[in-house]
Amino acid sequence: MDVFRIDLDEPKVEPEEYDLIVSLGSEFAAYDDSHRFVTSEADLMRRAVDANVPILGLCFGGQMLARVLGGEVYRGSESEIGWLPVRTTAPDLVPQGPWFQWHFDVITAPPDAKVLAETDLGTQAFVSGRSLGLQFHPEVTPEIMDEWVRAYRHELDAEGVDPDALLEETNRRAAESKGTSWRLLEGYLDRVAGLGSRAAT
């Protein structure tokens, strides 16, 4: 497994060399091309799609996947921050949660994608080919949440979100969330990416 900070390093990544590409979250917007790494990430994803390399996109990564495949991503009228349920049409793959959200943008799924989950504000999960885009953060843990709260507390304050309550709920949901997230990952790897669930280990 290789980990790249494309926003810092601008690495030359050849998607054909990998079985799977996972694109994580970002404080930047997937539609803001004023940051060079955003266009670099889009280029990497396009090359991966062309090479039939599966992509798992989480939050920013899911938004970028939607954009690359012809969907839309734009600033929403309101944020989604906290542990929120989703309406799912595929509960065996994407359970209703609640899943942790921290974003200000809306995904409109690509034309050829199958939408698996939504909230009132937009798409939460979609599949296209071997790739899965998610608007939420299945990877969040109490440790990650603690880092995010310290780094981006100003966003919580601006949105009227109690950081202590957020940390408490994340700790309370940690065990259940971990199990649900692993089931999502294993289901994706096995039934969508075609890599077999053992790839998750």
- pLDDT, tens only, 66-97: 999 999 999 999 999 999 999 999 999 999 98
Give the H or E element holding residue 172. Answer: helix 163-187
pLDDT recorded at residue 27: 78
Which pTM value belongs to this model?
Answer: 0.91
Average pLDDT score over residue span 152-171: 96
Q: What percentage of the chain reaches a pLDDT higher than 70?
A: 94
What residue ranges define each of the domains in the chain, with the CATH number in brackets? 6-200 (3.40.50.880)
Q: In what order do the strands lie in the sheet with 87-88?
A: 21-23, 55-58, 131-134, 122-128, 114-119, 87-88
197-201: long-range contacts, CB 8 A cutoff, minimum separation 24: 199/19, 199/20
Question: pLDDT at residue 3 above 90?
Answer: no
Among residues 129, 117, 101, which one has the least CA distance to residue 20? Answer: 129
Structure tokens at 155: 């966003």
Question: pLDDT at residue 10 above 70?
Answer: no
Instruction: Please state at what angle helix 142-159 crosses helix 163-187, rounded to 10 degrees.
Output: 130
**Residues forming the active site:** 59, 137, 139
